[in-house]
Structure 1
C-alpha cells in the first residue's frame, strides 16, 4: 500500500473531489466525505446529474491503493458544513478552556490550536467535537463527549 495514511493529510483531503484507486485496479471518483479515524475507512460521496441520485460508498483502508485530489470536477452539494463565524472563535475558545478547567483539565493555546497534555490531543478551530484529534480512541471519545456536554 503506497498511500499516505497521515491523519493531517487525510483531514486536508476531506470535502475535496478525489480519485480513489483500489487494489483491484478500479477507479472511483467523488467527494471524500470523511475518513474514519479508527478504521481508516474512506467514505466517498457521489452524485449523478442525470437522475439526481446521491450515493455514499465506504472503502476499507486495506482496499485503497491511492487517493489524489482531482481538480476541474464539479463539486456535488452533498456536504454542508456548519461553520462558526471567525469572530466567534475567540469566545468559543475561551468557553472551552474554562469548561476544561472546571473539569480539571488544562489546555494550552499554541497559535490557535488547543493542546492537552503535551500534544496527546489537539482541538482546532472552530473548537467543536469534530475538530478533536488524538491517536487514543478512548481519550478522543471522552474529550468529544465532554465538549458536546459543554453548556452554551
Structure 2
C-alpha cells in the first residue's frame, strides 16, 4: 500500500511538472487536448491546476469556442471558469461545463500581471492585502487605542476580544467588529473609526 501511494504521488507530481513546463516552453497556439468527450474529464485534478491563470481557447463538443483566463477548474466535474477582461478593467465570467469540453488551446501563458489582475478581480472594492507583520501592528495599535479609552480588551491570537461580548478580527477595522449587543457594537465601531491615523493604515 505504501509503495502504491508513493507511486501515485510521484505520478501526480510528474503530471503537474509536465504541464507547467509545457506552458513555459511552448508559445501561443499550443494545443493540449483534442479528442472525444471524456478525455478532459478523465484528467486528474492535479493536471487541471496547471491551467489556472493561463489564457486559453476552449472548444466544446458542439464546436462553440470560448476564450479567457482560467480562474479555476472544478475538481469534480472538470468545469472551467473563464474570466475575460473588458475595457476599464471590468470583467465577465463564463463557465464551460466539463463534459462539454473537447479541446483546450493555450493562447498566452500567465505571468505576474495576470496573477495580480485575477486577485484584484475577486478582492472587494476598497480592501487591501496585509502582511503578517502589518496585521500584527494593526492589532497592537487598535488594542492600545481601545485601552486608552478605558475599553477592556484581550488579545486572543488572531482576534481581539472586548469585555467578552465583542470580537474584532483581522484586519482590525470597524467592519470586523462582531457582537450580538448592538449598543456595544455601535460604540466600539465608532471608537475604532475615530482612531488617529486610521485612514493612513
Which TM class, normalised by the smaller chain length? 0.3 to 0.5
Higher Cα radius of gyration: 2
Q: TM-score, normalised by structure 1?
A: 0.47
Higher helix proportion: 2
Higher strand proportion: 1
Q: TM-score, normalised by structure 2?
A: 0.36
